[in-house]
A and B are shown apart, each in its own frame.
Chain A
Amino acid sequence: MSATLAKGINSFKEVLDAPIASFFSSCVHCGLCAEACLFYTETGDPKYTPIHKLEPLRRVWQQEYTLLGKLGKMLGLSKPVTDEELEEWKPLVYNSCTMCSRCAMVCPVGNDMTYMIRKMREGMAASGHAPAGLVSATTRSVEIGSPMGIRLPAVKAQMKHVQDDTGIEIPMDVAGAEYMVLMSSMEIINFPEYLAAIARIMKQAGKTWTLCSEAFEATNSGIQIGASDIAKVLVQRVVDGAEKLKVKTVISPECGHAFTALRWEGPNLIGRAYTFDVQHILEVLDDFRSAGLLKTSGFEEARLTFHDPCQIVRRGGLLDQPRNLLNLVAKNYVETKDHGKMNWCCGGGGGVSAIEEAEPLRLQAFKVKKAQLEETGAKTLVTACANCRIVLEEGLEHYHMNIPVVGLTELIAEHLKEGE
């Protein structure tokens, strides 16, 4: 697939729709979105203003879809979008946008910058202006089956490891199970606790579940890079797996972008509604809790706080579930300032953590998390996204803060009543 400027511009034209036209028409250049974006607030550099990241897309809209713009183009008055410009915008569209949507909560005219960035990335990828880190992650996803290059044997090895550890058999390819569990590469490589936690929780709840050998990876780098054709292939794997095994619900792991990909983008990518439900693991756990299927004992005594992953709260709608679950096991739970749907991003979402050259900026942007955390005086940080978790750990280490980061699912599993 050769990328050209023409393909990029074409793709810009294709993604432009009524919402985007209304957003560009409404923008009053008030600059408030900048005040909501961690890449601006922590650097003070105006180029990180959210709406500015979309400037090339805006010009294509104006030149192609407005009367005045078309006139200007005919008279040769407008500046066409060039390859050089898109290359210059690459770090704005990718490295400095985690698609966290905080700006979309703040813009007084209601502009949803994430909606636009997501679509703009299609044209960036089609014109060959996507960052190398995301390109290779996407290639690995297509060729190997996961962005980090994990193959089925690695998953099987982890299954065995967890089986030995917990004494619970990890089911794979069990047709007719109620739940099909997906993981993110991050969980397979870095956090084997997740699978163990699921095994114990499912056992206690008495639910049937399974992994799927053809679809174990939940993340979708096609979406982060902006290649819907690839994103579709990746979602289709999950859909085929789930429909073959005839499961009722597919459980998205703690990874926020995986949830967005499966829950909100998937049906639109494959062009039809699913025959199964998609739930985030926290939704499943909270359902278990309210049905009395989640029995815990003991409480964490340390002062805990929670980092709301953007894709799960602001862009996923899970505001109460994590809090209900935390209150099951924590006595000394404190909220950060700006928690919930106004929480600040960890700085590594939207593919940013996979872009090597974005690291210095990401660590700079992390200052806002640092300040948020310090204010709470928390001794442990709980979150519910494997990517947030890695990014948070790196940021805390960089700033020499000795705060362990824990996944909420594992925290719950640690408090499961034994022998039930």
Chain B
Amino acid sequence: MNHLDLLTFARGSALNWALIIFTAGVVLRLFEILGLGRKADLAKPRLDSPGSGWRTMFTRSLPPEGMLKRDPVTYIGGYVFHVGLFLGIFFFAPHIEFFRSMTGLGWPALPSALVDASVVAAIVALAALLAHRLNNPVKRMLSGFGDYLAWALTLLPLLTGYMAYHHLFVEYTLMLALHLFSVELLLVCLPFTKLFHTFSVFISRWYNGEIFGRKGVAS
């Protein structure tokens, strides 16, 4: 198999299978969570915070007072990483082209240099967060194989994407194929690892906001 064949495979059946497993996995996990259901709350709710669940989905992205100072690396590293990754995925011109080819939907891209910088920032943030995870006693205690796996799975697409864009080390066609494979690996693993928080965070934040909203403590 030459590099072009590999890329064709990565773009073709490998991608299709990855998307199928990803979609099925996400549906399964959502079903596993929501399928457990919950009992209706019979206590009369306070009425002063309607929509608290929906608001919490967004407001929980901000650090509560005093928290930023307690753990700046986690907050700042977390923001830089998430924003960088988001821009890298959704605002890089070739990616948008790719989404357009798949879904017919397109949107304006950001200048490549800016996307490039945001990806570098995301990679640096990931490195800092890993160092923090290894150094901070709480994080180290909480972390297991799954956490480091999730970290590596996230780093690979960023790294291979960066290398492909800058034509570093490996022949471009091969690098592009590797980039696609790394993304496919991420997609396949996402539903079954910590990375599933990409979806479940909206559910857990909603429950939090809803539970506290009923008590009149809106977020």
A109 and B205 contact, CB distance less than 8 A: yes
User: A18-45 vs B: 1/0 string, CB under 8 Å?
Assistant: 1111110111111110111000100010
Bound together, the chains give a CA A35 to CA B139 distance in angstroms of 11
CB contacts under 8 Å to B, within A302-340, are: 313-319, 337-338
A32 and B71 contact, CB distance less than 8 A: yes
Contact of A171 with B by CB under 8 A: no
User: B177-219 vs A: 1/0 string, CB under 8 Å?
Assistant: 0000000000000001010110011011111110110011100
Contact of B166 with A by CB under 8 A: no
> B36: which of A21, A28, A36 is its contact (CB, 8 Å)?
A21
Contact of B100 with A by CB under 8 A: no
* Stretch from B14-22, B57-65, B84-92, B113-121 forming part of the interface with A: B57-65
Taking CB atoms, residues of chain A closer than 8 Å to B212 are 104, 112, 315
Task: Report the minimal beta-carbon distance from B124 to chain A, rounded to whole angstroms.
Answer: 18
B34 and A18 contact, CB distance less than 8 A: yes
B38 and A32 contact, CB distance less than 8 A: no
Chain B contact residues, majority secondary structure: helix
Question: Which residue of the partner chain A has the closest CB to B46?
Answer: A317
B201 and A17 contact, CB distance less than 8 A: no
Given contacts A29-B143, A316-B215, contact A46 B137 (CB under 8 A): yes
Task: Report the minimal beta-carbon distance from B61 to chain A, rounded to whole angstroms.
Answer: 7
Taking CB atoms, residues of chain B closer than 8 Å to A399 are none
Contact of B142 with A by CB under 8 A: yes
Given contacts A22-B33, A31-B142, contact A273 B44 (CB under 8 A): yes
Question: Which residue of the partner chain B has the closest CB to A41?
Answer: B70
Taking CB atoms, residues of chain B closer than 8 Å to A267 are 42-44
CB contacts under 8 Å to B, within A240-289, are: 263-268, 271-274, 277
> B43: which of A67, A263, A337 is its contact (CB, 8 Å)?
A263
Bound together, the chains give a CA A342 to CA B65 distance in angstroms of 8
> B204: which of A26, A273, A341 is its contact (CB, 8 Å)?
A26
Taking CB atoms, residues of chain A closer than 8 Å to B138 are 31, 34, 40, 46, 49
Contact of A208 with B by CB under 8 A: no
Question: Which residue of the partner chain A has the closest CB to B136?
Answer: A31
Given contacts A18-B34, A21-B33, contact A266 B43 (CB under 8 A): yes
Bound together, the chains give a CA A341 to CA B142 distance in angstroms of 27
Bound together, the chains give a CA A27 to CA B193 distance in angstroms of 11
> A22: which of B39, B42, B137, B200 is its contact (CB, 8 Å)?
B200
Taking CB atoms, residues of chain B closer than 8 Å to A17 are 36-39
Given contacts A46-B138, A49-B141, A317-B46, contact A342 B64 (CB under 8 A): yes
Taking CB atoms, residues of chain A closer than 8 Å to B196 are 25-26
User: B66-79 vs A: 1/0 string, CB under 8 Å?
Assistant: 11001100100010
Given contacts A40-B138, A47-B141, A342-B66, contact A25 B217 (CB under 8 A): no
Taking CB atoms, residues of chain A closer than 8 Å to B143 are 29
Q: Which of A22, A47, A49, A263 has the most CB of B within 10 A?
A: A22
Given contacts A19-B38, A65-B36, contact A35 B71 (CB under 8 A): yes
B61 and A66 contact, CB distance less than 8 A: no
Q: Which of B35, B67, B133, B212 has the most CB of A within 10 A?
A: B212
Question: Which residue of the partner chain A has the closest CB to B56?
Answer: A110
A22 and B204 contact, CB distance less than 8 A: yes
CB contacts under 8 Å to B, within A36-87, are: 36, 40, 44, 46-47, 49, 51-52, 65-68
Taking CB atoms, residues of chain A closer than 8 Å to B11 are none
Taking CB atoms, residues of chain A closer than 8 Å to B32 are 21, 65-67
Task: Report the minimal beta-carbon distance from A239 to chain B, rounded to whole angstroms.
Answer: 12
B203 and A22 contact, CB distance less than 8 A: yes
B204 and A25 contact, CB distance less than 8 A: yes
> A315: which of B142, B203, B207, B217 is its contact (CB, 8 Å)?
B217
Task: Report the minimal beta-carbon distance from B210 to chain A, rounded to whole angstroms.
Answer: 9
Contact of B147 with A by CB under 8 A: yes
Question: Which residue of the partner chain A has the closest CB to B216?
Answer: A317
Contact of A105 with B by CB under 8 A: yes
Task: Report the minimal beta-carbon distance from A175 to chain B, rounded to whole angstroms.
Answer: 24
Contact of A377 with B by CB under 8 A: no
Contact of A16 with B by CB under 8 A: yes
Task: Report the minimal beta-carbon distance from A290 to chain B, rounded to whole angstroms.
Answer: 15
Q: Can you list 29 contacts pairing A with B, beta carbon distance less than 8 Å?
A: A18-B33, A19-B204, A22-B200, A22-B203, A22-B204, A23-B204, A25-B33, A25-B196, A25-B204, A26-B203, A28-B197, A29-B142, A35-B67, A35-B70, A40-B138, A46-B142, A47-B141, A51-B142, A67-B32, A107-B60, A109-B60, A109-B205, A110-B201, A110-B208, A112-B207, A112-B212, A264-B215, A317-B48, A317-B217
Sample of 5 further A-B pairs with CB below 8 A, known A18-B207, A337-B66, A341-B217: A21-B36, A31-B139, A32-B74, A49-B142, A316-B217
Return the 5 tightest CB-CB contacts between A and B, nearest first.
A317-B216, A110-B205, A110-B208, A31-B138, A267-B42
